[in-house]
Amino acid sequence: MAGLLPKVAVVAPLTGPRAAWGAVLLGRLEALRATRPEVADWRVHDETRGEVADVSGGGYAAVVGHADPAGAERAVPRYAAAGLPCLLPFVRPGAGAEGLAGVLSWAPDGAGAARAAVEAAAGLGARRVRILHDAEPPWQGPAREVAERAAAAGLVPVPVPAPGGGAPAGAGEGDGEDGGTVSVVLAAPHRCPELARAAGGRGPVLVPGESGLGTVPFGAGTGAGAGAGAGLDLWFVRPHACAATRAHRALEALFRGLERGVERGAGPRGAELVAAVRGEAGVVWGAGGVPVGAGWEVVRG
C-alpha cells in the first residue's frame, strides 16, 4: 500500500539540543496514524544531518517539520524551488522565504516576540534593557529589534558582549547599580542558561521559552541545564500555542488535505495540496502564511 501513497518527508532533529522538538513531532505523527486511515508514506529525515538535498529531490508530495531556524532558512527556498509544499510547526521560514507560495508556518513571527519582551520589561519596571544574544546569525536580527523597540519605548538598550563571542546589540549607557534593569536573553535553549547567568542575577531575566516539550533548559533534572536558573528571576517569552499543539495542528491539516485524494487513488500535490491544507487548518491565514492571532506570552519561569 505504501507504494501507492504519496510520500511525505518528516524532517525532525533526532539528536542534539533540539531533539525534544523532534520527539514531539514524531509522537504527534504516530498518535494520528494510530487513529486515522493511512494517507501517506511517511519518511523520517534527521534534521541534524542536513538532508535537504535528499528531501527536495526525493519525489515527495510535502515536507513537514524543522526545529532549527537557521536550517529552515536554508532549506525552505530549496523546497519552494522544487514545488514542494512545506509545513513548519515550530519555526518561521526565514526572512528570505517569508510569503513564498507553498510555505505555511504555525510559529508566530519574531517581531511579536521582540514586542512582547520589551512590553514585559517595561511592565517589570525596567529603565534599562540588557540584551545578551548568541553569536549565531539567527539571533543578531532579533537582538537589534529588541534594542530598537526598547529605545522607541523610552528605555535604554544596554549592549552586553555575549559569552563565546558575537557583537553586542543596541547602544546605551552603563548598567548602573540602582535597579531598573531587565535582561533579555536571545539564544537557542541550550545556550540560554549560560547567557542568563551573564546577567549577574540583577533584576528580571527574559528568555525564549517553549511549552509542550516535556523539558526546559532551566528545570531541575534536565541535564546540562539543570539548576541553571537558581537565583535568577526568570520569565519565559513563549508562543501562546505550545509545541505539541502546533505539531498536532500542522499534521492534522496535512492528514485531512491528503485524505481528499485517498478515494480517487492519487493525493493532491503542489498548489492543490497547499490549498487543501490551508482549508483544513481551521484558521484564517495572514499574508505571511501564519495563522491570524498567533502570538506570544510572558510567564514566570
Same domain, 143 and 187: yes
Same domain, 231 and 247: no
Q: Which residue segment(s) compose the domain that 250 sits in? A: 2-107+242-294
For the record, the C-alpha cell of 157 comes out as 538598550
Residue 189 pLDDT > 90, yes or no? no
Please give the residue that has the higher pLDDT: either 19 or 218. Answer: 19
Q: Are 77 and 95 in contact (CB under 8 A)?
A: no
Same domain, 165 and 229: yes
* Least confident stretch, 64-78, 118-132, 253-267: 253-267
Please give the residue that has the higher pLDDT: either 6 or 260. Answer: 6
Residue 214 pLDDT > 80, yes or no? no
Same domain, 102 and 248: yes
Residue 300 domain-assigned (yes or no):
no
Please give the residue that has the higher pLDDT: either 213 or 174. Answer: 213
Q: Are 93 and 69 in contact (CB under 8 A)?
A: no
H helix or E strand, kind and range, residue 22: helix 19-35
Please state, in angstroms and as integers, the Cα–Cα distance from residue 174 to each residue in 170, 180, 198, 267, 271, following that order.
Answer: 12, 12, 15, 60, 53
Q: What is the pLDDT of residue 251?
A: 97
Same domain, 134 and 101: no
Q: What is the pLDDT of residue 226?
A: 42
Same domain, 82 and 19: yes
* Model pTM score: 0.87
Calculate mean pLDDT across residues 127-141: 85
Q: What is the pLDDT of residue 166?
A: 45
Residue 166 domain-assigned (yes or no):
yes
Q: Are 104 and 59 in contact (CB under 8 A)?
A: no
| CATH number of the domain that residue 275 is part of | 3.40.50.2300
Q: What is the pLDDT of residue 221?
A: 33
